[in-house]
Structure 1
Amino acid sequence: MVEANNTTVTLQVHRFTPRPERAERARGGSPFAKKSSPFGDGSDSAARRRPRGKQWVQEYTIPARPSDTVLDCLLTIKRTIDPTLAFRYSCGHGMCGSDAAAINGTPTLLCTATVRDWAKQPSTAPEVDDEGFRRTGDETANEPDVPAENVENNIPEGSLGVIELASLPGFPPQRDLIADIDPMLNQIRKLTPYLQADGVLATTAEGKVDVFEYLQNPEQLAKYETLSNCIACGVCEGACPVYAGGDAFVGPAALIWASRFINDSRDTKAMDRMDAIDTADGVAGCQSVRACSRHCPRGIDVGEEMWQIVAKVRER
């Protein structure tokens, strides 16, 4: 059954345009400036992580169907209304993780989020609950619609609602909905995210190379198979209230990648891997909030896996 395309949706996009970088001084410089840092070079300074520029919220109202994804809506805007709108995507099917952003304040993937699930009707409900906590998108999504006569600036008839978009929290914005996820990727790289076997070729009784050297049974495979589905999209990092660019906490994504190889029976560096994350900014930084589990696009219970790796490190 084909849906009629006589409805609209309004996207409120938090836009950002960075300020042009100043040209470097032609000569000279501060004699007191450090040439290098153990925590990274000058290009990874706080100035880079907190870019300055123009910020504003821009609304777009476009024709849309309930089954359309938020990515579909953005592509419509990009192609027909505003070619300057910047966002990132690749496969468009929830496999690459490149289009992670905040929808109604919740980190998730643009290509898997539908208008039906995320469009909100205007509500007179307070933004803070009775206990003083800020209300989240999930809490307001299940509330009954408020009659039009009780709402100021009511959305026009035929509108599916409003969707608020912003770049992924926890990372510095680069432009509009594009966040700089390099801090997360750098943390993953530091933990050697690849198999490290002993390098010794097993041989058969006849002296030939044993092609089944790394054969695993189902139980061994099950220990890390789910973790291998991580696509490093950054959704868990954006949801984590402790993570902020990887400076004070390595972040759940890096720990998931470390856990994937720690649980691999073929890897011979499990103890070294656990030593690497047994630091103040490693497993000790996890506060077990479990917000990282809420919207993993690959179905990983990140909070549970974090608890498991923390327990394993402490018990070794």
Structure 2
Amino acid sequence: MVEANNTTVTLQVHRFTPRPERAERARGGSPFAKKSSPFGGGSDSAARRRPRGKQWVQEYTIPARPSDTVLDCLLTIKRTIDPTLAFRYSCGHGMCGSDAAAINGTPTLLCTATVRDWAKQPSTAPEVDDEGFRRTGDETANEPDVPAENVENNITEGSLGVIELASLPGFPPQRDLIADIDPMLNQIRKLTPYLQADGVLATTAEGKMDVFEYLQNPEQLAKYETLSNCIACGVCEGACPVYAGGDAFVGPAALIWASRFINDSRDTKAMDRMDAIDTADGVAGCQSVRACSRHCPRGIDVGEEMWQIVAKVRER
């Protein structure tokens, strides 16, 4: 298929610039502002507080092809239009997970989202009805569809559509499309995300020491292999309506990492790991909404895995 030439896409970017931090008072601040205050104000709550700053929506219209990724478009803006636009990326191939953001309100990776899949044509229907109420999805469903030839004409005339971008939901923004995912990473670290084996040296059939291997059969590997693909991008947590920075719920990413080692036959701390997540903000916080499964870039059925680990913890 030959792609249309001379086409453009419009990116509506929700931008954020944090307010500069205030300098400490010359006399050391208030003597009553202790970190151990029962009313909060400690270093942990300060780190989780949503930063204050300037927020606005900025539009960029740039040349683009349907096969371009949203990351390609942002790089074009950064290099040719606005060098102040901030976003995070690394590998650009959906392997590192560093460029997670909200596209049209949906958490996903910028480098795997194409203009073809995410650009939407502006609706011709009014957003409010005659009485001033916002139109719902059911009402707009009865509107006549835009003929396919009209959509093709729009592309031919140059407009591929509009894409709305914002930082990853559930995390405080740092700048523009960059979210602070440290709360998620800290929750993962608390659950000791590394193999804890018994340290007993294996032996070969001849009775010799086999220092370097903890052998597994294919069935044992299959129990956790898919879970080991998690790249801690935060997409599942951004989609979770319960997670909000790890305060009330540890989050699906941390539970996936815990489940990966609980299901590993080489690990000897499965019971300790299940005790660690059997808390009010652990498995008890999961409401089984399964929104976390919608756009996992590594193909993990997060909702199903969450159900499995919750059942295993309760049945132990």
Q: TM-score under structure 1 normalisation?
A: 0.88
User: Contact 2:242/2:287 (CA < 8 Å) preserved in 1?
Assistant: yes
Does the aligned pair in 1 maintain the 2:236–2:295 contact within 8 Å?
yes
Distance 2:147 2:123 in 1: 9
Q: Whole-Å Cα distance in 1 between the matches of residues 42 and 247 of structure 2?
A: 15
Q: Is the 8 A contact 1:296 1:302 kept in 2?
A: yes
Which sits farther off after the overlay, 43-52 or 269-278? 43-52
- 2:150 is equivalent to residue 165 of structure 1: no
Q: 1:224-259: CA deviations, max 9, x gaps?
A: 000000000000000000000000000000000000
Compared CA separation, residues 41 and 6, structure 1 to 2 (3 A)? same
3-state SS of 1:164 partner = strand
* C-alpha separation in 2, matches of 1:128 and 1:270: 55
Q: 1:120 to 1:171 in 2, by over 3 A?
A: same
**Is 1:237 aligned with 2:237?**
yes
For 1:193-239, what per-residue CA distance to the aligned partner results, in whole angstroms no more than 9, with x for missing partners? 00000112123465532257411111000000000000000000000
> Which shows bigger deviation, 35-44 or 201-210?
35-44
Cα deviation per residue 1:16-40 (whole Å; 9 max; x = unaligned)?
Answer: 0000000112223333333358999
Q: State the alpha-carbon separation in 1 of the partners of residues 209 and 136 from structure 2.
A: 57
CA distance in 2, matches of 1:125, 1:159: 18
Q: Note the residue ranges of structure 2 that are not aligned, 5 or more in a row.
A: none
Percent identity over the alignment is 99
Q: Is the 8 A contact 1:49 1:172 kept in 2?
A: yes
Q: Aligned pair in 2 of structure 1 residues 3, 152: CA closer, same or farther (>3 Å)?
A: closer
* Separation of aligned partners in 2, 1:287 and 1:125: 36
Q: Which residue of 2 aligns with 1:301?
A: 301
1:136–1:56 CA distance, 2 compared to 1 (3 A): farther
Matched residue SS, 1:45: helix
Structure 1 segments unaligned to the other structure (5+ residues): none
1:185 Cα deviation from its structure 2 partner: 0.2
> Which digits, 9 at most, give the CA deviation of each residue in 1:62-104, with x for residues without a partner?
0000000000000000000000000000000000000000000
Q: Structure 1's 52 and 74: CA in aligned 2 closer, same or farther, altered over 3 A?
A: same
Q: Distance in 1 between matches of 2:142 and 2:215?
A: 48
Judged with a 3 Å threshold, the aligned counterparts in structure 2 of structure 1 residues 153 and 56 are, in CA distance, closer, same or farther, namely farther
User: Do the aligned partners of residues 36 and 119 (structure 1) sit closer, same or farther apart at CA in structure 2, a change above 3 Å counting?
Assistant: same
Tell me by how many angstroms 1:123 deviates: 1.3
Q: 1:181 to 1:147 in 2, by over 3 A?
A: same
Cα distance, 1:105–1:127 mapped onto 2, change above 3 Å:
farther
User: Residue 270 of structure 1 aligns with which residue?
Assistant: 270
Q: Distance in 2 between matches of 1:201 and 1:131?
A: 76
Q: Residue 104 of structure 1 contacts residue 137 of structure 1 at CA under 8 Å; is this kept in 2?
A: no
Checking the alignment, whether the CA contact within 8 Å between 1:121 and 1:145 is kept in structure 2 is no
Give the corresponding residue for 2:199. 199
